[in-house]
Structure 1
Amino acid sequence: VRIVIVIIYATIVLVGFVSNLAVIIIGMQSCRIVKNRLSVTSILIIVLACSDLCLCVFCLPIQLHYQLTNDWHLGEVMCKIVFSAFALPMYVSVFTILLIAIDRYRLIVCPLKNRISVNAACVSVLLTVIFAVLMASPVMYYLTVLRIESPTNIDEYRILCVEEWSSDWSMEVYSAVTFCFMYCLPMLLTGYFYLRIYLRLQFRNPPLKSHPQKTIKTYKTFNILFLIVTNFTLCWTPWNIFSLIVGLRARVDFGPYFTLVDILLKAFAMLSVCTNPFLYCWLNDRLKKD
C-alpha cells in the first residue's frame, strides 16, 4: 500500500510541477515580451499556477513522508509552517477563481461597466494572500511538537507534529468558520456569477448568433471556466468535508484507516493541480500557442 501511495503522489507531484511551472514561465515571458498581453485573466491564471506549484513542491512531499513514517524530524518551526500552509494554496485558489468569475461577469453581464484593471487584480490577489495567511494563523499558533516515549524502551521515542487547541470548542468553531467562509461561500458566489453569465448568454438581446465567431469564443471561454470551477469543486470537496468532520470531532470512527483516508483524499484533491494547467491552456489561445 505504501509503495502504491508513493507512486501516486510522485506522479501527481511530477506532473503538477512540470505543467504548472510551464504555465508560469510561458505566461510571464509572454507578458514581458508583449506588454499588451498582461491581462487580468493572465495574471489570475499565473496566480493559480503558483498556488498549485507551492502545493507540489513544498507541502505535499513533506506531509506524505510524515504521514507514512509517523515521525517528525524537521523541528517545531517547520511543523508550524508546513501543516498550516497546506490550506493556504486552496484558499488562494478559491478566491482567485472567484475573482475570475467576477471579471467575466462584469465583461458579459455588465459590459457598460469598467472591467477589473490589472492593478486592481494585483491588489485583490495580494489581499487574498494576506487574508488566507490570517485565517491559517490559528492553526500555526496551536501546532506543536510532542515527544512520545516508548512504554517498553526509554531509548525509543517518536516526535509528532500535532494541533494542541486550548479547547475542543475553539477547534470546532474554527473548523466550521473556515469551511463555510473560506470554501463554501466563495464557491457558492462563483456558481452564482456563472449562472448569471449562462442566463445572459442564453437570453441576451441581440443574440450572439448574429456574430458566429464571437459566439464560439464566448461560449468556449465560459465552458472552460466552468470546467475549472467544477474540477476544483469535485477534487477538493471530499477532503474539505473530511477535514470538517475531524475538526468538529464528529463521532465517525475511521479506525486504523484514518491516515490512509486522509492521504487518499489529499491525493484526489491534488488531481486538480495536474488538470488545471491543461484547462488554462485550453482557455487561453495565446498561452496554448506559446
Structure 2
Amino acid sequence: MGAFDANMDISSYNSTTVAWKLETAVISLVFTLIFLIGTVGNSLVLAVLFRNGKMNTKTTHVFIFNLGIADLSFILFCVPFQATIYTMDEWVFGPVFCKVVHFIIFLTMYASVFTLAAVSLDRYLAICYPLQSREMRTPKNALASVCLVWLLALLFSGPYLSYYHQVDLGGVRLCVPVWEPAPRMAMDLCTFVFGYLVPLAVLSLTYARTVRHLWTGVDPQVKEASGSRRAKRRVTKMMVAVAALFCLCWLPHHLLMLCMWFGPFPLNHTTYALRILSHLVAYANSCLNPVVYALVSKHFRKGLGSLHCCCALRKRGGVVNRVHTVQAVSSAETSN
C-alpha cells in the first residue's frame, strides 16, 4: 500500500496486495537507492551553499537551499517508513506516525512546489526587470518568501493530520484514509489544483517569458556583457530542468488519482503495479535535483571540489597533528 494512494480503502486492500518476493526485492532496492542518493546529494547541496556564503547576496541560493531542506526532510522522514510498508505490507509504526509521516509527505511536497514557483518568479524579475526589481530581490525578502512558502504548505497539508488513521483488518495494521468519499475527493482535488495545477501554470508562464527574453529579446534597460547573459542562461536552464523534473515526476500520481475518482480504474494487479510505480517516481524526484545541479552548474561542481579539498585538508591536518603528538610524547619519554 502506497502513501499517496488516497483512494485505496480497506475493502480493496486484500484484493490488491501482492507479496511477490522478486517485486519486494526490487522495490526495496529502489527505495534504498533513493534514500542513499537523496540523503548524500541533498546534504552536499546544503553543505556547498552553506560553505560558499553567497546566501547573503544571492536570492536564488536561498530558494535552492530551502528546496534542499524540503527534499532532505522528505527523504529522511518519509522514505524509510514507506519502504517498510512495501516490504512488510502493514503499518508497524503506530497511530501517531501514521498521521505525522503522511502529513510530512504533503508538507514537503507543497513546500517544494511553492519554492519552485517562487524561484521562477525571482528569475523572471531578475531577467526581465533587472533594474526595477533590484531593491525587491534581496536575501531578506527571499527569506520572508521562504517563510511564506512554509506557512502556505502548513495550511494546505494540515488536513492530512486527520486524513489518515491506523486501523486493524484481520490482525493486520494498516494506515489508510478514513474520511468519507466526498470530502476525500474534495481534498484530493484541492491537492491536485493547488499542489500541482496552479504552480504548473505559474512555472510555465514565468519561464516561457524568461526564456523568450533571454534567448531572443534585447534588454532595453541595461546592456549586458555576453558573460553575464551566459551565466543567467545557465542558471535559468538549471531551474527550468528542476521544475520540469518535479512536474514530470508528480504527473503520474496526479493522473492516477484523477482516474481513480473520475475514470474506470479497476482494482487489480496491473493498477496496483501502476500505483507503486507512480509512487516510486514521485519519491525519486527528491533525489534528482542534486544530479541536475552537478550536470548543469559549474559553480556547484567547483563548490563540490572545494568541499572535497577542505575535507581532505582537514583529514590530512588531523593525521599530521597525531604524528606530531606521538613524536612529542616519544621525545618526552626519551628525555626522561
Which TM-score bucket, shorter chain as reference?
0.7 to 0.9
The answer as to 2:146 corresponding to 1:125 is yes
Contact 2:63 2:119 in 1 (8 A): yes
1:116 — aligned with what?
137
User: Aligned partners of 1:256 and 1:185: how far apart in 2?
Assistant: 33
User: Aligned partners of 2:57 and 2:221: how far apart in 1?
Assistant: 30
Name whichever of 102-111 and 119-128 sits farther off. Answer: 119-128
The answer as to 2:189 corresponding to 1:168 is no
Change (3 A) 1:263 1:175: same
Letter in 2 for 1:103: D
Secondary structure of 1:145's aligned partner: strand
Letter in 1 for 2:212: L
Quote the offset at 1:63 in angstroms.
1.2
Unaligned runs of 5+ in 1: 150-156
* Runs of 4+ residues deviating >6 angstroms: 207-210
Quote the offset at 1:137 in angstroms.
1.9
TM-score, normalising length: structure 2 = 0.76
1:63 — aligned with what?
82
The answer as to 2:24 corresponding to 1:11 is no
CA shift digits 1:204-231 (9 cap, x unpaired): 2569997332232222222222111112
The answer as to 2:90 corresponding to 1:77 is no
User: Aligned partners of 1:143 and 1:251: how far apart in 2?
Assistant: 25
User: Aligned partners of 1:36 and 1:137: how far apart in 2?
Assistant: 30
The answer as to 2:203 corresponding to 1:181 is no
Please identify the structure whose Cα radius of gyration is greater.
Answer: 2
Secondary structure of 1:267's aligned partner: helix
Letter in 2 for 1:23: V
User: Aligned partners of 1:8 and 1:262: how far apart in 2?
Assistant: 15
Quote the offset at 1:36 in angstroms.
7.0
Contact 1:172 1:249 in 2 (8 A): no
Quote the offset at 1:280 in angstroms.
2.8
Quote the offset at 1:203 in angstroms.
2.1
The answer as to 2:216 corresponding to 1:197 is no
Among all aligned residue pairs of Structure 1 and Structure 2, give the percentage whose two residues are the same amino acid. Answer: 26
Name whichever of 249-258 and 122-131 sits farther off. Answer: 249-258
Quote the offset at 1:256 in angstroms.
3.2
Quote the offset at 1:283 in angstroms.
5.4
Aligned length: 278
CA shift digits 1:137-179 (9 cap, x unpaired): 2221132111123xxxxxxx111111111x3111111111210
Name whichever of 180-189 and 257-266 sits farther off. Answer: 257-266
Pick one of 17, 40, 44 that aligns with 2:63: 44
1:146 — aligned with what?
167
Quote the offset at 1:239 in angstroms.
1.6
Letter in 1 for 2:83: L
TM-score, normalising length: structure 1 = 0.87
Secondary structure of 1:86's aligned partner: helix
1:278 — aligned with what?
291
Contact 1:144 1:163 in 2 (8 A): yes
Secondary structure of 1:71's aligned partner: coil
Quote the offset at 1:276 in angstroms.
0.6
User: Aligned partners of 1:111 and 1:243: how far apart in 2?
Assistant: 41
Quote the offset at 1:97 in angstroms.
0.8
Quote the offset at 1:285 in angstroms.
4.3
Pick one of 235, 238, 253 that aligns with 1:239: 253
Contact 1:27 1:42 in 2 (8 A): yes
Unaligned runs of 5+ in 2: 1-22, 304-336
